[in-house]
Copies of this chain bind each other. A is one copy, B any other.
Amino acid sequence: MVSATLTKHSDLDGQAPFKGCQENFKQPEGLVGKNPGRKQRLSAHDVLFYEGDKAERLYEVMRGVMMLYKLLPDGRRQVVYILREGDMLGFSNRDFFDCTAEALTEVELQVFESREISTSPMMQHYVNRCLLSQMENLHEHTVLLGRKSALERVSTFLMGLVPNRGGHGCAGPVEEGKPDTRTVELSMTRQEIADYLGLTIETVSRVISQLKRRGLIKVEKQDSIHISHICGICQLTGMH
């Protein structure tokens, strides 16, 4: 409903007992409503925790964007998840984090002790919804990494930044008259995008140039892209 909440994750509807992570944080009583607890701030590129650190706290992103990534011993990196407002991180089924968490922008977090969560069925349920949402996004991203071309990957990535579009079943072309247009903030460098999409920085750059040449997008600032024809991009995602 509130346009600012609509990320690619926000395909939750109102029928479930809880509304899910993305929507909930906007309401005065999200997880946070139950918990007056600590806030934490990060600057861009601060690391919240490293893979292998002891997992004792959960976090909810209140503002900003973060990423989870894993490294191979030779330095190859894969960004496994992008976290936006309302998303939670810090889960672990063992005692240690399986990923590193780093801020992509300035970030504001709400901090929860793991104990608080596991003793409250309410929070338990809430966390559960978040996990399910993340799981679906991971499934979708798995398809992207396993089966999509570079052009499809970048297009899918861009569509993910457009509220209410590109998701399951996609809202489709907007109604007649409405401009099929939008400016999106990447809040990631080309390198970070590449590591998220399983490509190289050069390939990402080339695809963006290609979309620019085709007149589908305009690069305003390096990390701000105006999509001139959303449907055009959507057609390139491989999902239509």
Chain A residues in the interface with B (C-beta under 8 A): 11-13, 15-17, 20, 68, 70, 72-74, 76-78, 80-81, 91-95, 98-99, 118, 121, 124-125, 127-129, 131-136, 138-143, 145-148, 168, 195, 197-198, 238-240
Q: For residue A128, which residues in chain B have a CB less than 8 angstroms away from its CB?
A: 124, 127-128, 131
Task: Say yes or no: A93-B139 contact (C-beta < 8 A), given A78-B147, A124-B121, A131-B131.
Answer: no
Query: Contact at B20–A142, with CB atoms within 8 Å?
Result: no
List B contacts of A238 (CB < 8 A). 72-74, 76
For A91, the closest partner residue in chain B by CB is B132
State A133–B91 Cα separation when bound (angstroms).
10
Contact B98 A136 (CB under 8 A): yes
Query: What CA separation (Å) do A132 and B58 show in the bound complex?
Result: 13
Q: Please state if B145 and A98 are interface contacts (CB–CB under 8 Å).
A: no
Closest to A79 in B: B146
Closest to A142 in B: B80
Q: Are A125 and B132 in contact (CB under 8 A)?
A: no
- CB neighbours (8 Å) of A145 from chain B are 142, 145-146, 198
* A16 CA to B128 CA, complexed, in Å: 17
B17, B136, B141: the one contacting A142 at CB < 8 Å is B141
- Report A77 CB to chain B, min CB distance, Å: 7
